[in-house]
A and B are shown apart, each in its own frame.
Chain A
Amino acid sequence: MSTPVPISLVVNGEAHDLVVPPRKLLSDVLREDLNLTGTHVGCEHGVCGACTILIDGRPARACLTYAVQLEGHELTTIEAVAEGDTLSPLQQALHEEHGLQCGFCTAGIVMTFEAYLRENPAPSEAEVRDVLSGNLCRCTGYQNIVTAVLKAAEAMRGGRGA
């Protein structure tokens, strides 16, 4: 039962052939098999949001999916958000507004809002706070994250912003 199985995963546009036990969490496969340690792991039951990545462009908890489920899907992790040394507008805004301290929660927040701002480019502060409720941050108190997301949204709409 549960012998390792061969799978092919497309992560950040690159295909990887792996052999993994079916019960291995996607978060663990990303970190251990693919060395993509930008995806953090906090609670492993969906609550903290640290492990949030994109599956076919939509945010999802990597700790609530098994890598074996994701053959044929496009995965995006924090490693693909910046282009070389150029931060995305969202990352830039988090940097400028001090939207992070220890950074443990940051990758999950970036992935969540990279997707959300594409769906809703002009969110209200209340909407940003609603979405941010899915990502726990033990350091910042959230205020600067909210400011940064709103600033990033403006920048991405082509306003002055970042």
Chain B
Amino acid sequence: MKPAPFTYHRPASVREALELLARYGADAKPVSGGQSLGPMLNMRLARPAHLVDLNDLLELDYVRNTGGVIEIGGLTRHHRVASAPEIGRDLPLLAEAAATIGHYAIRQRGTLGGSLVHADPAAQLPLVAVTLGAEVVLRSAKGERSVPADEFVQSIMTVDLADDEIVTAVRFPQQLADEGSAFDLFSRRHGDFAIVSVALTLRLDPAGAICALRLGLGGVGPVPQRQTGVEQEAIGCLPDAETAARLARAAAAAITPEDHPQVPAAYRRELVETLTARAFLRAAKRAGVTA
């Protein structure tokens, strides 16, 4: 449980970090919170020759509202994402999800950028980024580009990131004031990675029917999945218990989970159904449904 030897670099600026990554390429790995890379290094699942520490790049720890888009720096810790008042107000789904990541001590160190790059299929932040249609901002010594979150996350722990790039920020569309949202998950032990997680937002028209719904599921495949079929089915429906049950059944039917001895496919489907219904009703309440 001790890492293989590496050379340690502690760049003082983003530019310096990018130069190091450009120089060492595939032999280098950036480290942020170390809450995923640390275990992988200690178990020698990762053996980079060079470790490039991003923790001094405080210019990447920020929350900025640029007219309807909330840009959050890549080095922003989960705890800040979960507790910053402006995120609670403008991106309540993200704040709610971030508060459920691992444990208190893990959230003090783990970062938004690290979580997106690690891309665990059950992770909260990639799911919320995909559900809300966020953009991932990447920078290398050569320049900057941005990629929609659902294209950035390609497969299990595989993302659209070159060896010389880092995630400098994630841009989330601000949630609308009249939008209700909810995040829910199930794990066997509190704080463990979820077996299934659900992110849901909805809006109602003046007559009280659903006019927009987003549903993202985590843990049901290699990457977080938007359920566009279910989303369309919801349009025009009343946000009541009957609709909740119907959409939840549709979501459970829409997935093709792996059959795993500890987590049979049928069990995962039932979790999707239960959690979707629960998130739907909670989001509806927050969108102003009182019944």
Contacts and interface: CB of A to CB of B under 8 A. Distances in A.
Interface of A: 1-2, 5, 21-25, 28, 44-46, 49, 52, 58-61, 63-66, 68-69, 112, 116, 129-131, 133-135
Contacts of B42: 25, 44-45, 63-64
B105 A61 contact: yes
A129 B41 CA distance: 30
Contacts of B8: 5, 22, 66, 68-69
10 contacts: A1-B5, A46-B38, A58-B108, A60-B105, A61-B106, A64-B39, A66-B3, A112-B104, A133-B191, A134-B105
A2 to B, nearest CB: 3
Given A58-B79, A116-B104, 7 more contacts: A2-B5, A46-B106, A65-B34, A65-B109, A133-B103, A134-B103, A134-B104
Contact of B39 (A22, A24, A46, A129): A46
Contacts of B31: 69
Contacts of B103: 49, 131, 133-135
A69 to B, nearest CB: 6
Interface of B: 1-8, 10, 31, 34-35, 38-39, 41-43, 49, 51, 53, 55, 79, 102-106, 108-109, 189-191
A6 to B, nearest CB: 12
A103 B34 CA distance: 27
Contacts of B5: 1-2, 21-23
Secondary structure at the A interface, as helix, strand, loop or mixed, is mixed
Contacts of B1: 44-45
Nearest to B189: A133
Nearest to A108: B105
Nearest to A28: B2
B38 A61 contact: yes
B104 A22 contact: no
